[in-house]
Structure 1
Amino acid sequence: MDVTVEVVGEGEETLAVDDDATYAELARAAGYSPHEVSVLVDGTPVPEDGTVTAERVTLLRLIKGG
């Protein structure tokens, strides 16, 4: 399954994930720990252990170094 992942303020990319992948696995595939991002579908947070069903998600970084 291909999922378009938008990281707020950093752009977007399309990732291929397994049909039974979780949102936590999707966050890891995008290069983020599930603890440092919230995964949003249509602007609503989804549980990290939920199975990916959306073709487009938004990652909102909660922690940003500097």
Structure 2
Amino acid sequence: MNVTCEIVGEETATVSLAEDATYADLCRAAGYSPHEVSVLVDGTPVAEDGTVSESHVELLRLVKGG
């Protein structure tokens, strides 16, 4: 399954995931730790252990820089 990830305020990327992938898997595939971003579906945060069923999500970075 292909999912478009809009990194809020930055870029948009498309990642390929297994059909049973979780939102934590999606974060990692997009290059982020699940602790570094929140996944939003229609503007609402979702649990990282939920199964991805949408083709478009937003990733809101909580930690940036170092």
Question: What TM-score, normalized to structure 1?
Answer: 0.96
- State the identity %: 70
Unaligned runs of 5+ residues in structure 1 are: none
Question: What is the alpha-carbon distance in structure 2 between the residues aligned to residue 7 and residue 59 of structure 1?
Answer: 5
- Give 3-state SS (helix, strand or coil) of 1:27's partner: helix
Runs of 4+ residues deviating >3 angstroms: none
Q: RMSD in angstroms over aligned alpha carbons? A: 0.8
- Give the aligned partner of residue 61 of structure 1: 61
Aligned residue pair count: 66
- Give the aligned partner of residue 11 of structure 1: 11
Match of 2:16, as an amino acid?
A
Unaligned runs of 5+ residues in structure 2 are: none
Task: Encode CA deviations 1:44-65: one digit per residue, 9 max, x unaligned.
Answer: 0000000000110000000111
Alpha-carbon shift at residue 10 of structure 1 (Å): 1.2
Question: What TM-score, normalized to structure 2?
Answer: 0.96
- Give 3-state SS (helix, strand or coil) of 2:20's partner: coil
- Give 3-state SS (helix, strand or coil) of 1:47's partner: coil
Task: Encode CA deviations 1:12-54: one digit per residue, 9 max, x unaligned.
Answer: 0111100000000000000000001000000000000000001
